[in-house]
Amino acid sequence: MFAAVVAATSVGKWAGRKSGIEVEPVLWQTLAVGLIVARLAFVLQYTTSYQASPLSVLDIRDGGWRPLAGFVAAWLFALGRQFKRPALRKALLPALLAGTTIWGAGVLALSVPDLTQKLPSLSLASLQGGTIDLAEFQGKPTVVNLWATWCPPCVREMPVLHQAQLANPSVNFVFLNQGESRERVSGWLEARKLPLRNVLLDSKGQALAAFNQRGLPTTLFFDASGQLVSTRTGELSSATLTEKLQTLSYRDSVPAPTPPSDR
């Protein structure tokens, strides 16, 4: 999106100088319309998830967007402005085409799944004792959350993940704590009345390296065959988590193996 905005404004300035038209204000208005509609389209689709906390609609940190709806709205707005001011056309159309090309190429590149990323064989200590290999969870859709008690967005999203674990017994939810002691994690969960299942202790940060991730929270979504379907770096809301789980539900499943003792 950033690259598309830069491309559109650069081309718009260049074309505007040639035709003597200032196109930047219209471009920024077009961007605003696109972003607002993209957010509203997502919120309308997952209205029930926002009913408990309506003001969370304004918290765009959850990553809830419908880019296609925003794209269409932005183009319709820009075309409408051209009809009102035909002189804009020579500068506005090239700018929009440049931005659209960059944005489309980026969306296409990001939508290609990483076929090399599978649920790895990684043996970690369980909060309840013993060890569990991540590969044992293959056979059911699996959500892997990398978190820590000192991470504010991790703390905020944990109740959402807990509710999702209760509501989706057909999905494995695995919580990989990064670098904290058993006592710290256990006490933190008990204090917040979060009886999570499948809490594993990654004391050496092996998961971050295995998944090629650097930030917390990070949530990875694997289908039943262990193939990575989607990754979310940053806080999840109930709505964005629901969207990700719906994506998992469309994937083919395979017979579940013998479950690990911590399930």
Tell me phi and psi for residue 5, to 5 degrees. Answer: -65, -45
Residue 228: what pLDDT? Answer: 92
Q: Residue ranges per domain, the chain? A: 2-111, 123-249
Residue 82: what pLDDT? Answer: 82
pLDDT tens readout for residues 132-181:
999 999 999 999 999 999 999 999 999 999 999 999 999 999 999 999 99
Specify whether the CB–CB gap between 214 and 208 falls below 8 A: yes
Residue 114 pLDDT > 50, yes or no?
yes
Domain 123-249 fold: Glutaredoxin (3.40.30)
Residue 37: what pLDDT? Answer: 95
Confidence at 251, pLDDT banded by 50, 70, 90: low
Residue 194: what pLDDT? Answer: 96
Residue 239: what pLDDT? Answer: 94
Of 81, 74, 85, 99, which is closest to residue 6 (Cα–Cα)? 99
| Alpha carbons 78 and 27: distance in angstroms, whole number | 8
Which one has a higher pLDDT value, 263 or 134? 134
- Compute the C-alpha angle 83/85/86, nearest 5°: 70
**DSSP per-residue codes, 188-252:** HHHHTT---SSEEEETT-HHHHHTT--SSSEEEEE-TTSBEEEEEESPPPHHHHHHHHHHHHTS-
Residue 179: what pLDDT? Answer: 93
pTM of the model: 0.80
Residue 259: what pLDDT? Answer: 44
Element spanning 131, H or E: strand 131-133
Residue 254 pLDDT > 80, yes or no?
no
